[in-house]
Chain A
Amino acid sequence: MLKVVENLKVLYRYRVLIQSLISRELKARYRGTVLGFLWSFINPLLLMIIYTIVFGFIIGPRDPAFGSNRVLYALFLFCGVLPWSWFSSSSIESANILMIQGNLIKKVLFPAEILPVVVVTSNFIHFLFGLPILLAAKLLIILFVPQAPPFSLYLALLPLVMFVQFVFSLGFGFLISSLTVHFRDIKDILSNLLTFWFFATPIIYPMTFPAIQQSNLFRFFLNLNPMTHIIQGYHDTLFAGRPPDWLHLGGTLLFALLLFWAGHTVFDRLRDSFPEEV
């Protein structure tokens, strides 16, 4: 446990480097594109439109919670998809980052744990860019759809949910990035796992869905998934405007911290092998 604290200090010492690597990442991502930073807004917008068309209009909301209001369902979807894409792209990028930046690890004295931190944080910033779109969409929907849940003070708890997800993503990122150095096929396993994970998380369906409520087995498994509670947190604070489920969110935070510790420990143990293996 002490080791983790020690290493957090290292991260703090290198904060300027982390900061400039993140800004480099953000700058480089849209360098050369015509729309530039606008893509950070356009991407989630397009995503929302696709989900709305497919799940709102073609398949249609089947949950009584939304009545038959497609727009409301689209908002619900967006509240889950946005944080999910933060998590999934952080994980996929983490899996590759040590190999991509292998030159740094091999040729420069460079604390490798910075790299997953940069990945998770820069994706977090992209997530933040999408947030205004989400809030604007919610505002519009409140204006035009009478049964839409209004903004509430619980929105202020959103950062807490983000924090839980941040810790969880980082822990997962540490674990994935260090293991992928030795097992290259984690990359492929991961992309499949994430598809499965996406559907095993209440993003396109609410937990209140009848099929889930009727089956103890489903509920049990969904509750085992930490992302369930994180996404639920977003749904609660952002969509429904109610307090999050403190017990579940707290438990998830504990689990996230544990994963962070475990991920970091694995990372630390494998650290010396990176320069040879990447």
Chain B
Amino acid sequence: MYAIDVDNVTRIYQKYSARHRFQTFKSALLKGDFLRALRPDELVMALDGVSLKIEKGQTFGIIGENGSGKSTLLKVVAGIAKPSSGRVRTQGKVSALIELGAGFHPEITGRENVTINGIMLGLSKKEIHQKFDEIVRFAELEEFIDAPVKTYSSGMYMRLGFSVAINVNPDILLIDEVLAVGDASFVPKCLDRIDDFRRRKKTILFVSHDLPTVAKICDKVAWMKGGKLMMVGEPKRVVDAYLQDVTVKQEEKFEERSKAIDLEQKFEEERRENRWGDRAVEIKKVRLLSLKGVEKHVFAPEEGMVVEMEVESPALVKDFVFGVGVFNSQGVACYGTNTSLEDYVPVSFRGRGIVAFRIGRLGLINGTYYLDLAVHKKDGYPFDYLRNLYSFLVSSTDRDEGIARLPHDWSFSPKIRIRPPKTGGKARVNPSTPRHECRGLLRVNPEPRFSSPPLKAGLSVGERVKKAETPGNPKNAVKKNKKR
């Protein structure tokens, strides 16, 4: 018996172009094309023949890019949108967390809104009365429950909405990206509640862009693209396949962009800003390659990279230094070196040549990185200096923080009972590279060793995940172990 049975569902949205769309009676009547105007110009397939069977008690994740039909699928399951064709069957009470607090009336008190919202979500008055205290406690709004909702902060509003919806105690819970707005203490609480649901064998359909969370809490994941189901299966595998697809897309985007940065056609102004030097030795062309010599721009942390510069010197030069610098998107220098620092001694160069800077293993964390490439004299006088003209992306599912991934390993003495992470993922971002050394899912708090402001900004997302996982929080750690 399936909790949710989506059978070959297609949902077509009608897209009216502004030109044809009649907004008014007048135009409809004047043109006399009342009925013709009702016909849309273009149809948008939000869902295209989607079939999905979700067993009772499963936590099912849906991932995909924006506009891939995830939310539409959720709405169809919730019954808010009707399928254009196909059928949806659900078993049991459905509660949809699509927008928290939808339908709150700003003028009346939180108390009255809880009652009405509860009724809207299918509770009886008696049930609401019984659960009222629990709802208020969970939302942490004891003091404010008798104030009009318009005086609430957006966080309070959201907490109350979530609290009501989760206390409806449905058999099927639909969650659409609503956790993205909670603060650092409320989100773990919500995730706890969702865990609780899982333990009680309720069905959860979970739409999110937070891939690590999806991979962690879901039993099964579906990946949607352009209204179609691309893949359904084991979370890690699906997430990786999705990332692979995203990587390909990013690669294409980078290629387009690097075409634009053709050195010969660079805009004069930008050139002045990002490129300087007298060009006695000129960098004619730059390529980023994988170790196998394939040009690419998106790398896995474990991958290596070759920066290849084509240089040209019309006259004979005897004093020259080649340098490479890697910066992250916040402008923090991750690494920099040049031939002089490494005691290469220039002898002579004339004509054309190729300089290859080979990085055996990038070891960087997720993010975009920029390259500084330069040829200059030993005293620093620049021949050709390219600042941030080339960039590449490091993409992985790991959630570590900092600047670089230090090669590491975990080991524990026998007294410390700890379970290693699930190792379901065979398909990595780049299957050709070996799995990296990160063995444990539980990590120590990364010390903010570099107190640069950008790092702080980077912490915000990871923080709440950390809260739920650090060994410092024994309650959660135990819970997690039970689950696995």
Contact = CB atoms under 8 A, between A and B. Distances in A.
A5 B416 CA distance: 67
B23 A109 contact: no
Contacts of B85: none
Interface stretch (A35-43, A100-108, A163-171, A221-229): A100-108
Residue among B23, B28, B102 having the largest count of chain A Cβ atoms under 10 Å: B102
Contacts of B102: 103-104, 106-108
A30 to B, nearest CB: 10
A104 B96 CA distance: 12
A109 B105 contact: no
B116 A24 contact: yes
A20 interface: yes
Contacts of B99: 103, 106-107
Nearest to A189: B25
B25 A276 contact: no
A10 interface: no
B187 interface: no
Contacts, number: 72
Nearest to A20: B116
A34 interface: no
Interface string B2-19: 000000000001100000
A131 B96 CA distance: 43
A17 B98 contact: no
Given A103-B103, A109-B79, A275-B81, A24 B108 contact: yes
Nearest to B23: A184
B77 to A, nearest CB: 10
A21 B148 CA distance: 16
A109 B80 CA distance: 5
A185 B78 contact: no
Interface string B102-119: 110101100010011001
B79 A16 contact: no
B160 to A, nearest CB: 15
A31 interface: yes
B91 interface: no
A24 B115 CA distance: 10
Residue among A24, A28, A32, A109 having the largest count of chain B Cβ atoms under 10 Å: A109
Nearest to A31: B107
A27 B111 CA distance: 13
Nearest to B119: A17
Given A108-B103, A109-B79, A276 B119 contact: no
Contact of A110 (B25, B75, B112, B120): B120
B82 A272 contact: yes
A20 B119 contact: yes
Given A24-B116, A104-B120, A184-B23, A31 B125 contact: no
B121 interface: yes
Contact of A276 (B14, B78, B96, B105): B14
A220 interface: no
Nearest to B125: A16
B24 interface: yes
A203 to B, nearest CB: 27
Contacts of B82: 272
Interface in B87-139: 94, 96, 98-99, 102-103, 105, 107-108, 112, 115-116, 119-121, 124-125
A108 B24 contact: no
A275 to B, nearest CB: 6
A20 B125 CA distance: 10
Contacts of A104: 102-103, 120
Residue among B81, B116, B120, B148 having the largest count of chain A Cβ atoms under 10 Å: B120
Interface residues of B, number: 31
> Which DSSP category, helix, strand, loop or mixed, fits chain A's interface?
helix
A107 B80 CA distance: 7
A276 B120 contact: no
A110 B26 CA distance: 32
B231 to A, nearest CB: 29
Interface in A172-199: 183-186, 189
Contacts of A32: 107
Nearest to A106: B80
Contacts of B103: 101, 103-104, 107-108, 110
Nearest to A21: B116
Contact of B105 (A16, A24, A185, A186): A24
Contacts of B105: 24, 28
A107 B148 CA distance: 22
Given A28-B108, A103-B103, A108 B121 contact: yes
A27 B79 CA distance: 30
Nearest to B80: A109
B108 A185 contact: no
B148 A183 contact: no
A104 B25 CA distance: 27
Contact of B112 (A24, A108, A272): A24
B79 A185 contact: no
B74 to A, nearest CB: 11
A107 B25 contact: no
A31 to B, nearest CB: 5
Contacts of B121: 108
B78 A28 contact: no
Contacts of A184: 23-24
A20 B81 CA distance: 25
Residue among A27, A107, A183 having the largest count of chain B Cβ atoms under 10 Å: A107
Given A31-B148, A185-B26, A189-B25, A108 B107 contact: no
Nearest to B100: A107
Contacts of B116: 17, 20-21, 24
Given A20-B119, A27-B108, A108-B103, 9 more contacts: A17-B120, A20-B115, A20-B116, A32-B107, A103-B99, A106-B80, A106-B102, A107-B102, A109-B78
22 contacts: A20-B115, A20-B116, A20-B119, A24-B105, A24-B116, A27-B108, A28-B107, A31-B107, A101-B103, A103-B99, A106-B99, A106-B102, A107-B103, A108-B102, A183-B23, A183-B24, A183-B28, A184-B24, A185-B23, A185-B25, A189-B25, A275-B81
Interface of B: 13-14, 23-26, 28, 75, 78-82, 94, 96, 98-99, 102-103, 105, 107-108, 112, 115-116, 119-121, 124-125, 148
3 tightest A-B CB contacts, nearest first: A107-B102, A107-B99, A28-B107
